[in-house]
């Protein structure tokens, strides 16, 4: 059974432009909405959950990935007091399909699924239709999810955010912070992470 409220539904042929698929527009803008506690629909197999981390490694939320026979679904949720300002997502059948510089650094401006959230949100979900792609159970996808975050009013209490530390930025800080779905580093020397998800078997579909 599908969940009652999918925050953003995106046709995969449009959403994955530039990530190894042809005949698609350059990018899309997917709307976001805060909705704490919206449950995932009943997915096939196992749901993959990876940490959402700052460059320092500090965890600020989670990214959950799942699929049924109709769609690939991602849910990004932040811990308090973090809020999402924008997101950039790329999905491909290979690492080369994720937009990168010749040196192997991710190009966020070319990630095909992008969203801005005004006001900022703590929960964002996107659903990519699978019917436009010849994906099969067990095939491995490469995903890179980046989010621009800020601290909500009354945020941190510690002196500051230092690389490698687990402290929060000072209270009232308004600086943007970049966060990634945790995984492996891109081959370049810049920042950026990607992770893998194996499409789950749906046993021929669900009613």
Q: Please write the tens of the pLDDT for every residue from 24-57.
A: 223 333 333 223 334 456 889 999 999 999 988 8
Higher pLDDT, 184 or 157: 184
- Smallest CA-to-CA distance from 142 within 110, 95, 192 is with 95
Is residue 63 within 8 Å of 33, Cβ to Cβ?
no
Cβ atoms of 131 and 69 within 8 Å: the answer is no
| 28-29 vs 113-121, strand pairing mode | parallel
Residue 3 included in any domain: no
The overall pTM is greater than 0.85: no
Is 206 within a domain? no
In a domain? residue 111: yes
Q: Tell me how far apart the alpha carbons of residues 53 and 200 are, in angstroms, rounded to a whole number.
A: 25
Residue 2 is assigned to a structural domain of this protein: no
Residue 160 has pLDDT above 80, yes or no: no
Indicate if the pLDDT at residue 124 is higher than 70: yes
Residue 116 placed within a domain: yes
How many folded domains does the chain comprise? Answer: 1
User: What is the pLDDT, as a whole number, of residue 168?
Assistant: 57
List of residues 6+ apart from 104 with CB closer than 8 A: 186, 187, 188
| Share of residues in the chain with pLDDT > 70 (%) | 67
Does residue 204 fall inside a structural domain?
A: no
What is the span of the domain harbouring residue 66? 9-37+44-158+165-198
Domain assignment of residue 123, yes or no: yes
Does residue 33 lie in a domain region?
A: yes
């Amino acid at each position: 059974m599908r969940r009652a409220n999918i925050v953003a539904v995106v046709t995969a042929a449009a959403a994955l432009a530039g990530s190894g698929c042809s005949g698609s527009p350059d990018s899309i803008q997917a709307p976001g909405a805060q909705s704490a506690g919206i449950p995932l629909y009943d997915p096939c197999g196992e749901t993959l959950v990876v940490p959402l981390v700052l460059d320092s490694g500090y965890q600020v939320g989670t990214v959950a990935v799942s699929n049924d026979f109709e769609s690939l679904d991602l849910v990004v949720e932040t811990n308090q007091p973090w809020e999402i300002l924008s997101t950039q997502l790329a999905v491909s059948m290979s690492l080369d399909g994720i937009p990168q510089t010749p040196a192997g650094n991710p190009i966020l401006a070319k990630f095909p699924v992008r969203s801005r959230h005004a006001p900022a949100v703590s929960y964002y979900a996107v659903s990519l239709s699978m019917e436009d792609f010849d994906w099969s159970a067990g095939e491995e996808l490469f995903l890179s999810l980046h989010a621009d975050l800020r601290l909500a009013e009354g945020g941190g209490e510690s002196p500051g955010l230092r690389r490698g530390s687990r402290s929060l930025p000072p209270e009232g800080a308004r600086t943007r912070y970049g966060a990634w779905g945790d995984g492996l580093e891109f081959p370049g020397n810049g920042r950026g992470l990607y992770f893998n998800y194996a499409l789950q078997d749906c046993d021929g579909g669900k009613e």
